[in-house]
Amino acid sequence: MKKWFFILSIAGAVSAALCLHRPIDPDAAHQQHLVNHHLRNLAYADYQTRNEARAALLSIGTPATEFIVRALDNRPGLIDRTLARLGRRVSWLRITPTTDHQLRQRAAEQLASQPLCEHPAAIPALIRALGDDSSVVVEQAQQSLRRLGAQAALPALTEALHTRDKTVRFHAAEVLRDLGADAAPATPALLLRLRDREPKIRVVAAHALGHIGGTPALQGLSAALSDKSAVVRAAASFALGSMGQSAAASAPQIRQGLADADLKVRVASARALWQITGDATASVPVLVAALRDANAWDSALALGAMREAASNAVPALIEVIEREKVSRPLREMPVSALALGKIGIPAVPALIEITTHPDARVRTSAAMALGFVGAKAEAAIPHLVPLLRDLNADVRRAATLAIGNIDSGQHVAALVPALIKLANDDDIFLSSLAASTLERVDPEAAATVRRE
């Protein structure tokens, strides 16, 4: 315990010394306090308080930007971080932090607004904030840079890719990825990041280049297919797939990825090969084999994206739908049901068969999948109507919504009472879905539904 008191004494002395030797301008201190007050008010639930705070910041004018930048730059230093760790270890110790991540978050938000963003210190401050210890501050800084757009933020974001701070490099690459084709001038810098020491930065750089496209991106991503890191190889395949037919030159290399030792690389390669060539022949068997893995959601989604071209995968996806058994299928979408729904007509006979499955979760997923198929699943309606009287509430709800999405009007008499009941359900999500379906099926009956 003496050791901790010694550390606290040293930390306090250093902090006090720093405060004593820091020149303080009374007017500047008052302005900083005022700006911080308005920034905090931006977090209020009351919209009037938020609007008044925004107006107050704008009324201060250009000087407000300088104080907002100071607030954003006021990140926890070594002493603050040490004291915070100590506070977590010593329960009785009450340490008030000298920095406020919520204040920094609001500062980052305001630096994207006019005319504050025109100040030359605004964008550099947002770039520095990409290395903040708080994830909410980083996310807000990224959002502000996206709002400012490529024309304003691209030079600083490109320069940030060369910084020694790996956290800043990573988060800058994420923003460039989201800017898409507008980030094309950053292609040379992103190609360098494909050789970054950090695999996660190479991954984000690959995705950014896939969104940008072009010959240099194609060449760099093709080279990244041989990266020593499996996650980077998978990202390169995914990025090339997103480029579509323009990445045709990479198809032979991507085809080699179908035999990669890593499952995610095989799945990404199979999807990319189909996206580039339009031929699912080689891809479907690889994705079907991947469905045996417990975390098969990405391969199921890839098969769903292929639609009827993945009809050979229906039996394997039926096995997944029986295995998946999501506890709340109406809330947590079973990816196997979504995939089968996208495959469409070829999946209907197999889905009809499992509408009588002994497990209610499987019946629910089957009904949902048939609903995703839509009008083309009309042959399933006679098998769905009995589910409107199922003992399980989720099955009844799923069948009601599915029939409403499929039916052309022949089963309105059986459907409308169930839809009215569901439209009055306490679950707002389900009631809104049922109400919208009812408006399409029977507008007069929809008028009788309660409205909140």
Q: Average pLDDT in the 64-82 region?
A: 74
Determine the Cα–Cα distance for residues 240 and 323; give it in Å rounded to an integer: 32
Domain-embedded: residue 241: no
Determine the Cα–Cα distance for residues 225 and 238; give it in Å rounded to an integer: 10
Domain-embedded: residue 101: yes
- What is the per-residue pLDDT for 309? 94
Confidence of residue 22 (pLDDT cuts 50, 70, 90): very low
Q: Which helix (H) or strand (E) holds 404?
A: helix 393-406
- What is the per-residue pLDDT for 115? 82
pLDDT in tens, 305-363: 999 999 999 999 999 998 887 777 777 778 999 999 999 999 999 999 999 999 999 99
In the numeric block, the tokens 């993945």 are attached to 310
- What is the per-residue pLDDT for 2? 46
Domain-embedded: residue 276: no
Higher model confidence: residue 428 or residue 99? 428
Q: Which helix (H) or strand (E) holds 289?
A: helix 283-290
Domain-embedded: residue 44: yes
Secondary structure tally for the chain: helices H, strands E:
26, 0
Average predicted confidence (pLDDT) for the chain: 84
Determine the Cα–Cα distance for residues 252 and 229; give it in Å rounded to an integer: 20
Confidence of residue 8 (pLDDT cuts 50, 70, 90): very low
Domain-embedded: residue 220: no
Confidence of residue 88 (pLDDT cuts 50, 70, 90): low
> 412-423 and 428-441 helices cross at what angle (nearest 10)?
150
- What is the per-residue pLDDT for 182? 95
- What is the per-residue pLDDT for 13? 43
Domain-embedded: residue 57: yes
Higher model confidence: residue 54 or residue 231? 231
Determine the Cα–Cα distance for residues 444 and 381; give it in Å rounded to an integer: 23
Please enumerate in sequence order all residues whose Cβ is within 8 A of that of 281, keeping only pairs 6 or more positions apart, or say none.
none
Residue 7 in this model has a pLDDT that exceeds 50? no
Please enumerate in sequence order all residues whose Cβ is within 8 A of that of 186, keeping only pairs 6 or more positions apart, or say none.
154, 157, 158, 161, 176, 208, 212
Q: Two tokens at 262?
A: 């890593």
Contact present, 443 and 414 (Cβ < 8 Å): no
Q: Which helix (H) or strand (E) holds 18?
A: helix 2-20
Residue 158 in this model has a pLDDT that exceeds 90? yes
Number of domains making up the chain: 1
Domain-embedded: residue 34: yes
pLDDT in tens, 351-386: 999 999 999 999 999 999 999 998 899 899 889 989
pLDDT in tens, 259-304: 999 999 999 999 999 999 999 999 999 999 999 887 778 899 999 9
Higher model confidence: residue 375 or residue 161? 161
- What is the per-residue pLDDT for 18? 41
Give yes or no for a cis peptide into 115 (omega within 30° of 0).
yes
Question: Percent of the chain beyond pLDDT 90?
Answer: 53
Domain-embedded: residue 68: yes
pLDDT in tens, 418-452: 778 878 877 777 778 778 877 877 787 777 776 55
Higher model confidence: residue 203 or residue 4? 203
Confidence of residue 44 (pLDDT cuts 50, 70, 90): low
Residue 82 in this model has a pLDDT that exceeds 70? no
- What is the per-residue pLDDT for 37? 75
- What is the per-residue pLDDT for 451? 56
Length of the chain as a residue count: 452
Higher model confidence: residue 301 or residue 61? 301
Higher model confidence: residue 248 or residue 14? 248
- What is the per-residue pLDDT for 91? 59
pLDDT in tens, 182-191: 999 999 999 9
- What is the per-residue pLDDT for 221? 98
Q: Average pLDDT in the 117-146 region?
A: 94
Instruction: Determine the structural domain holding residue 5 and report its residue range.
Output: 1-16+25-116
Q: Two tokens at 409?
A: 């009007």
